[in-house]
Chain A
Amino acid sequence: MKKLSLVLMLVLFGVGSMLAQRTVQGTVTDTEGDPLIGANVLVKGTTVGTITDYDGKYSLTVPEGSNTLVFSYTGYTTQEVELGASNVVDVVMEEGITLETAVVTALGVEKEEKAVGYAVQEVNSDAITRSGASKTLDALQGKAAGVQLTRASGAAGGGTRIVIRGQTSLTGDNQALIVIDGVRVNNSTFQSEGNHAGVANTNRLADLNPNDIESISILKGAAATALYGVDGARGVVVITTKRGKGTDGKKFKVDIGSSVAFSEVTQITPTQTTYAQGWAGVYYPPETGVSTSWGPPVSELAWDGATDYAFDPNGHIVSKDDPSAVKPVTPYDNIGTFFQTGVAFNNNVAVSGGSDVANFRFSYGNYSEEGVIPKNTFERNTFKLASDLKLTDRLSMSASANFSKANGRRIQQGSNTSGLMLGMLRTPITFDNSGGFDDPANTEAAYRFPDGSQRNYRGGGGYDNPYWIINLAPRFDEVNRLFGNVNVEYKLHPWATLSATLGTDWFSDRREQQFEINSRTAPSGRVFEDNFFFRNTDIYLNARGSGNLTDDISLGYLLGTNLYDSHLENLYTEGNGLSFPNFVHISNASDVQSSRYINNKRTVGFYGSLDFGWRSMLYLTVTGRQDYVSTLIVPDEPFSLSDIGFFYPSASLSFVFSELLPNDDILSFGKLRLSYAAVGGGPPSAYSTTTPFVSASAGDGWADPVSFPFNGVTGFTQSDNLGNPNLEPELTVNKEVGVDLRFFKGRLGLDFSYYTMLSDNQILPVDLAGSTGYTSAVLNAGSLSSKGIELVLTATPIRKRDFGWDLQVNYTRNRTIVEKLAEGLEALQIGGFTGTGMFHITGQPFGVLYGGAYLRDNAGTDADDGLTIPDGNILINDDPTSGEYGFQQPDPTLRVIGDPNPDFIVGITNTFTYKRLALSFLIDWKQGGDMWNGTMWALTFFGRAQITAEDRDKIVVFDGVLSDGSPNNIPVRVGQNYWTSSVGGFGSVDEGFVQSTTWVRLREVTLSWDFNPKWFSGTFVEGGSLVLNGRNLYFWTPYLGVDPETSLWGTGNAQGFEYFNMPSTRSVSVGLNLNF
């Protein structure tokens, strides 16, 4: 760290020293004489620049020794103007395509767009900051083809998953690699509990303030990412952060921004408001502990007005005809009254300045959110300092440091007796979770009796009262993080620029979970402290050069080495059995156990790339990388580098065929892309090559296990997972073809990509029969294939002085198929509950839903493949002695019952500008993708789902046939007997609860207004803007539950499973930005 601060000092001192200079001004117009607003004016070869104002005017201080200005504007041809004697330079720009536009490719190398033989898509800073999203990944929603983002929940601080071009690994990480300013940063979402319970954890890219982002480049295919090595196979998000720029004669430039957002919950699983707590039509009060709402209609019930009844201030519930009845029962709304309006404040300030010799940018951001769930908070403070220093003409340095501190107070969720929605939705309408208090979230008597026992609808058993959860089962966390990099670059020769980059990322994530005595998850009380510490080092040494060999042939090369080292440490301490209440602390626990886990990995890579260009028409890039990975090492055995190393190549071709065509006004540009790339990979986890001993535990699935130390005695057992010293590297092969067409001088653009991917020899844990002495082994087994289409359509239907309309459509279609699992292994569960969940099944899409189906009349016949649901008629139970007479029946064979992967995703952004106003809206359409509605499944059993009220007295004849093949003619009542049967809630048929998550949503609406700078003349303010923003304002979906964008498995591989998920939110915000 000493080094870093030294660099920063240098930079700061350098800022003051300005050289001799002149001021140039002028106007930029289009061919019709209309001024161009916001055109970019840059002093060539420097970072000094400005943009034109509303009248197309600019004024720029040009440093001594510089004599060329570069004018650029989206949709217009870039111009370079040599400065003469005059200090006035007016420019007329022509519509056209800027073929020299640079895109950021692997390792931060900027390449001309036309020379790139694979798909790259860029998202700029405006699109991110104006999205109104507080976290970077959320801001990317709908803005790039091939990218699928899933927000785990609307809880404050919840994580978001990013997958580019489908999955490449059966069981490993499938999320894109995140690279900030050339070095990789951690975007993990650490879990403290099982994935299906616990709290919504944050993915760590959230530690980056979106306001610090200059641009994001999305590298999709392996040809684009091959130089990043193993982790690049999943796609790479290359983030470039903002830096200081020449500030036009002023010493400093200040930007401040402030916004406030209000949010509310979106839809929640529909529940009935007709029937009371009870069973078989009889009311059972809370103290009986009865879990269900199969009681009588509330219209038949009354309160007796007793004032001494602890469970209800309105008294006991009696029949309305009972003599003690005083007032008819009205249903309580335990759901609508629980949530609040979430409020989030976002404040940012950035100071930047400098000259062409040195510059800096410092920013501070504070984001503070109180969620829609009371007492659910998330706060983030970020500090970022970036600077560049040109020591000599040849030697330059740059550095950036980002410090962040994030704090959360989170709420238990999911499949968990302390899960918020679980207790809330199961609560009968005859029980008031709030206890009649106006502010139950802050009134202990609402959820806790004076003796410390819990006030809930099951007399203290069952599930936690939501108000108990938010007060007495909180999770606190704090992340302190520093990431940044130092880069030194030396121009040795026109053909040799040497650079060294050192990046590092350090953070600690400290968590404490409390469960007060009488919490249902831990009736005797529990507290755990879960501490993560992460550190990585990412070093690159590169030599590169480029130039023209002849007028027709250009050549470029890159040679380098990369060293990546990561260290993750986890220290978990759990205390159980609190001695006394109101002090949930490890020192109050009667039984304390601790565990520590360290994961070290190291990779060394050598890589090279060669670029050939011919006549601005043909570009060929070939790359190769040799990696050595620590995870292939077998400890205690001598090894040579060749045992842990592997090589993989890539080649990509760009053919600008429009160069061959006569110039016309229709097709302005056309490019064909072809690429092939292979990427190798080692075992995704460290220590897979050995079978160690582990601290023992004993038990079965029914109850919490016994663990060691047992009564002070230590116990170890050989690991059930057999290590494998003979692992070989994985290999992913990617082929891509694409075409980039621009029409009408770029007013219309179409970019199409088709790709295939085959990932073979995957290293994964494979289940073994117990009789082998192990339960799983790490094997080279399994392969995955993907193919997909991406389409990006851009259009500027209208471009007038005062009015413009831009349109961008991103279309994504991906199919990933599990080609092979291990020998003899047909299915591999990756998430869900025992028997129902997400499985990899040979020949099926990635992670399909697998579970119980209705029995069909042709099950087990030749028409039945034993895997998918056969297309026969549903067989109705026609055994009159059965309690399920007239119902469907469960098929004893589990089946593929759904595919959580979407058919396609479309993002449509329309932007309208009128004078200084801009209105843009993003429509996000996801077609297909199934989800198991476990919430509804469970709530039907409890008689709480809306459907159980609609059908409670209805007599129906289910579709199906009887055992003799004749159509079903048995009338049955769809009431308690049905929904608590083996085909109802908690039954073994899941098929009926699989629903489509297709949605169309208004993801983003932004109205921004740039202030007229004339207002501020004479003040120190230069300009500003007002931004109104709405996120997720409306969506339409057939899914009968919470917003299906939520995911119980958070950012993990298993998607399509909903079980008392936290709902999503919609929000509106207003923000003011000013710059000085």
Chain B
Amino acid sequence: MMKHKITALFLGLALLLGFNSCEDYFGDINVNPNVPTDVPPSVLLPSIEVGVADLTGGDMSRFTAVLVSHVRGVARQWSSIDNYSFIVPSNFDNAWRYNIYAGILQDARILKQKASEEGAAYYVGIADVLMAYTWMMATDVWDDMPFTEAFQGTDNLQPAFDSQEFIYGKIDDMLAEAISSLSGDGGDLLPGSDDIIYGGDAASWLKAAHAVAARAALHRALMDPNKYYGDVLTHVADGFTSGADDMRLQYTSGPTSAAPWYRFNRDRTGDIQMFTDDKPSKLGEIMMALNDPRLPAYSYDFEDFDNHPYFRADRAYPLITYYEQKFMEAEALMMTGGDAAAIHDAFVAGIQASFDAMGMDATDYITAVDPGEGNVTMDDIMTQKYIAMYAEPEVYNDWRRTNIPQLTPNSGSTIPYRFPYPSSELTLNLNTPPVDGLSAITDPANKVWWDIN
């Protein structure tokens, strides 16, 4: 008896464990319990917004700030970036690969698609503004980029590159669509506190869409001044009406939610300074000459990062601002033969808005630097814009368009005209143009499409 029972037990166990409904036995075991397979728009939007602010205030800001001599790299890698020798492909993998393509743009595409399916027009509009903003920031330093063949995963491992002109056309489309989405009804699913930038306020986003559209037009001004300066003026009319409208992302003083420059100065203490005896920056020289009261805040020792008055941990990082818009307006008016009073008003309002943003009184300074109505020059406008937009990537575009202020290269005879492509794209996508080192980025033939200066 015993023998039979045991035999039966073994057979039973074998059947139970082995032969009976193995599929059921595996069940959900390969379902990843750690992460969701789907998420709502409300958790995608914050990561896109913070991604955009961190990209703008991180690599984009630091590299361009060195190129336009807002700051100087003084130690370790940054002393080689300062003399342009270390502006090499491997420094741009993070921005291009993780932040832009696989990060912001991939997530914004998904957000837009999900939001469209749910009829959430404001989410769609916000996604378009953020995509347009990011594409523009990227193409302005990299020129041609994969667009039509991008985002196909393993179906297309080597996406072809599209021209910057083509990408700008797409940026125009995105912004037009954003303006339309944000002008109407937002549907049932509305952004709220997940929108770290504007708290879900569609009207603010609409203004921001116009501000970004103005910037997109301004970049192409050299190609067709009348058309594009005209577009700038059209958009600024519907853009920001005060500094309160600024498109900013509020960081906090928490260690993992602090602003990008603060984190850089904290973790790479002493690599960059605004101004040193050995390495003066052009911005510092200009501000000293003007006795600019903003200088102490700008040039405060970066090593004392906890007390830096400008690059604070809890900074509201500017993405596009009223003061930038006022300077755009002043430039566009000036270049289209606009009314002298309007030019002067916009110029003064730009300076005023910059001081307002810092909580400082501009009266004496404006008195000192204002040449008076009818006497405002492009040089005045662009110099004041150069000062106001401290370490903002847009300054590099302005300088390439206008050559104001006149900069002396930190090393060699040419300030790089653009960024090299990142090493990951160069090695993994054989369609990547060979813009890979200092000689390539200082070659005028490799200037970005709109840079015909």
Contact A561 B14, beta carbon cutoff 8 Å: yes
**CB under 8 Å from chain B, chain A span 683-712:** 686-687, 689-690, 692-696, 698-708, 710-711
Residue B31 interfacial (CB < 8 Å): yes
Q: Is the CB of A777 within 8 A of B154?
A: yes
Convert B87-113 into 0s and 1s, putting 1 for each residue whose CB lies closer than 8 angstroms to a CB of A.
000100111111111110111001000
* Set B10, B26, B31, B107: member contacting A602, Cβ < 8 A: B26
- Cβ–Cβ contact B101 & A561, under 8 A: no
| A–B pairs, 27, beta carbons within 8 Å | A461-B269, A498-B10, A606-B18, A628-B22, A631-B30, A687-B31, A687-B34, A692-B34, A695-B35, A698-B99, A702-B58, A706-B50, A706-B258, A711-B196, A711-B257, A717-B51, A769-B157, A770-B96, A770-B102, A771-B149, A772-B153, A773-B101, A773-B106, A773-B153, A775-B97, A823-B157, A824-B428
Kindly count the residue-residue contacts between A and B in the assembled complex, taking CB atoms under 8 Å apart: 273
What are the residues of chain A within 8 A of B99 when measuring CB–CB? 698, 700
> CA–CA, A932 to B428, complex, Å?
27
Report if B7 contacts A (CB, 8 A).
Answer: yes
* Known contacts A500-B13, A703-B264: A698-B154 contact under CB 8 Å: no
B154 in contact with A779 (CB, 8 Å): yes
Contact among B47, B90, B95, B256 with A835 in the assembled complex (CB-CB below 8 Å): B90
Of the candidate stretches B36-44, B210-218, B392-400, the one touching chain A is B36-44
| Per-residue contact bits, chain B 424-452, to A (CB 8 Å; 1 contact, 0 not) | 11011110100001000000000000000
Judged by a CB distance under 8 angstroms, whether A825 is at the interface is yes
**Residue B429 contacts which of A461, A769, A892 (CB distance < 8 angstroms)?**
A769
Interchain nearest-CB distance for A522 vs B (Å):
8
Q: Name the one of A500, A635, A696, A775 contacting B47, with C-beta atoms under 8 angstroms.
A: A696
The CA of A604 and the CA of B25, in the complex, are separated in Å by: 10
- How many whole Å from A1009's CB to the nearest CB in chain B? 51
Among the listed B28, B44, B50, which residue makes an inter-chain contact with A698, where contact means beta carbons less than 8 Å apart?
Answer: B50
Q: Does residue A601 face the partner (Cβ distance < 8 Å to B)?
A: yes
Residues from chain A with a CB closer than 8 A to the CB of B44 are: 715-717
Chain A contacts for B101, CB-based, 8 A? 770-773
Asked whether, in the complex, the Cβ of A699 is within 8 Å of the Cβ of B263, the reply is: yes
Given A769-B425, A770-B101, 12 further pairs, Cβ under 8 A: A541-B14, A576-B255, A591-B254, A633-B26, A635-B32, A703-B268, A719-B35, A769-B424, A770-B96, A771-B429, A775-B98, A824-B428
Q: A490 on the interface (CB 8 Å rule)?
A: yes
Q: Is the CB of B47 within 8 A of A698?
A: yes
Cβ-based interface call for B1 (8 A): no
Which residues from A are CB-within-8-Å of B51? 696, 698, 717
Q: Which residues of chain A have C-beta atoms less than 8 A from B3's C-beta?
A: 394, 492
Q: Does A652 contact B (CB under 8 A)?
A: no
Closest to B268 in A: A702
Which of A131-139, A379-387, A637-645, A923-931 contacts its partner?
A637-645
Which of A370-378, A475-483, A592-600, A949-957 lies at the interface? A592-600
Contacts of B250 in A (CB 8 A): 711
Docked CA distance A881–B22 (Å): 75
Which residues of chain A from 725 to 765 have any CB-CB distance to chain B below 8 Å in the complex?
none
Q: State whether B157 touches A772 (Cβ < 8 A).
A: yes
Kindly state the interface size class of chain B when it binds its partner: 35 or more
Contact B46 A710 (CB under 8 A): yes
User: Taking the complex as formed, is B422 at the interface, i.e. its CB lies under 8 A from any CB of chain A?
Assistant: yes
Which residues of chain B come closer than 8 Å to A699, judged between CB atoms? 54, 58, 260, 263
CA distance A635 to B257 in the complex (A): 35
**A556 CB–B CB distance under 8 Å:** no
Residue of A nearest to B110 (CB): A718
B residues with CB within 8 A of A: 2-3, 6-7, 10, 13-14, 17-18, 22-23, 25-26, 28-39, 43-44, 46-47, 50-51, 53-55, 58-59, 62, 76, 90, 93-103, 105-107, 110, 145-146, 149-154, 156-159, 193-194, 196, 250-252, 254-258, 260, 263-264, 266-269, 422, 424-425, 427-430, 432, 437
Known contacts A702-B267, A834-B90; A892/B437 CB under 8 A: yes
Interface extent on A, as a size class? 35 or more
Considering the chains assembled together, what is the distance between the CA atoms of A769 and B150 in angstroms?
Answer: 10
Check B37 against A490 for contact (C-beta < 8 Å).
no
Which A residue's beta carbon lies closest to that of B10?
Answer: A498
CB pair A772 B152 closer than 8 Å: yes
Verify B157–A768 contact, CB threshold 8 A: yes
Contact residues in A for B29 (Cβ distance below 8 Å): 600-602, 630, 633, 686
- Please name all residues of chain A whose beta carbon is closer than 8 Å to the beta carbon of B39 when the two chains form the complex: 693, 716
Residues of B within 8 A of A835 (CB): 90
Measured in the bound complex, the distance between the Cα atoms of B33 and A596 in whole Å is 10
Is B424 a contact partner of A770 (Cβ separation < 8 A)?
Answer: yes
**From residue A891, how far is it (CB to closest CB) to chain B in Å?**
13
A698 touches B31 (CB 8 A): no
Shortest C-beta distance, A710 to chain B (Å), equals 5
User: Is B95 in contact with A693, judged by CB distance below 8 angstroms?
Assistant: no
Q: Is the Cβ of A692 less than 8 Å from the Cβ of B36?
A: yes
Whether a CB of chain B sits under 8 angstroms from the CB of A357 is no
User: Is the pair A774, B102 in contact by a Cβ cutoff of 8 Å?
Assistant: yes
Asked whether, in the complex, the Cβ of A591 is within 8 Å of the Cβ of B256, the reply is yes
Q: Is the CB of B46 within 8 A of A708?
A: yes
User: Please, how many angstroms separate the alpha-carbon atoms of A717 and B194 in the complex?
Assistant: 14
CB closest chain-A residue, reference B145: A771
Q: Which residue of B lies closest to A461 (CB)?
A: B269
Chain A 619-636, CB within 8 Å of chain B: the 1/0 string?
Answer: 000000000101111111
On whether A824 and B17 interact (CB within 8 A), knowing A591-B256, A644-B26, A706-B256, the answer reads no
Q: Kindly state whether residue A713 has any CB partner on chain B within 8 Å.
A: yes
Please state if A772 and B150 are interface contacts (CB–CB under 8 Å). yes
Q: Is the CB of A693 within 8 A of B30?
A: no
Which residue, of B30, B36, B106, B437, has the highest number of chain A Cβ atoms within 10 A? B30
CA–CA, A714 and B192, complex, Å: 13
Q: A498 and B6 in contact (CB under 8 A), knowing A604-B22, A715-B47, A716-B39?
A: yes
CB of B262 to closest CB in A, whole Å: 9
* CA gap between A775 and B425 in the complex, in Å: 10
User: Which residues from B are CB-within-8-Å of A598?
Assistant: 33-34
- Enumerate chain A residues within 8 angstroms of B58, measured Cβ to Cβ: 699-700, 702-703
CB of A724 within 8 Å of the partner chain: yes
Cβ of A591 and Cβ of B255 under 8 Å apart?
yes
**B32 contacts A687, CB within 8 Å?**
yes
Q: Does A590 contact B (CB under 8 A)?
A: yes
- Distance, CA A705 to CA B156, complexed state (A): 30
Q: Are A630 and B54 in touch, CB under 8 angstroms? A: no
CB contacts (< 8 Å) of B34 on chain A: these are 596-598, 687, 692
A577 within 8 Å of B (CB atoms): yes
**CB-contacts of A919-952 with B (<8 A):** none
In the complex, what distance in Å separates the CA atom of A693 from the CA atom of B44?
9
Residues in B with CB closer than 8 Å to A490 are 6, 10
When C-beta atoms are compared, the residue in chain A nearest to B30 turns out to be A633
Q: Collect the chain B residues with CB atoms within 8 Å of residue A701's CB.
A: 94
CB within 8 A of B17: which of A563, A576, A707?
A563
Cα A714 to Cα B39 with chains together (Å): 11
Are B47 and A708 within 8 A (Cβ)? yes
Name the distance in Å between B47's Cβ and chain A's nearest Cβ: 3
Interface residue? A588 (CB, 8 A): no
Shortest Cβ distance from residue A682 to the other chain B in the assembled complex, whole angstroms: 10
Q: Report A-chain residues with C-beta under 8 Å of the C-beta of B196.
A: 710-711, 713
Chain B residue with the shortest CB-CB distance to A628: B22
Instruction: Indicate which residue in A633, A692, A715, A771 contacts B150 across the interface (CB closer than 8 Å).
Output: A771
Q: A722 contacts the other chain (Cβ, under 8 Å)?
A: yes
A628 pairs with B26, CB closer than 8 A: yes
Cβ-closest chain B residue relative to A600:
B29
Contacts of A779 in B (CB 8 A): 154
CB distance from A322 to the nearest CB of B (A): 27
A395 and B6 within 8 A (CB): yes
A668–B214 CA distance with the chains assembled, in angstroms: 94
B95 partner residues in chain A, CB cutoff 8 A: 700
A659 within 8 A of B: no
Residue ID in chain A nearest B154 by CB atoms: A777
Q: Is A873 an interface residue (CB 8 A)?
A: no
* Distance, CA A793 to CA B154, complexed state (A): 52
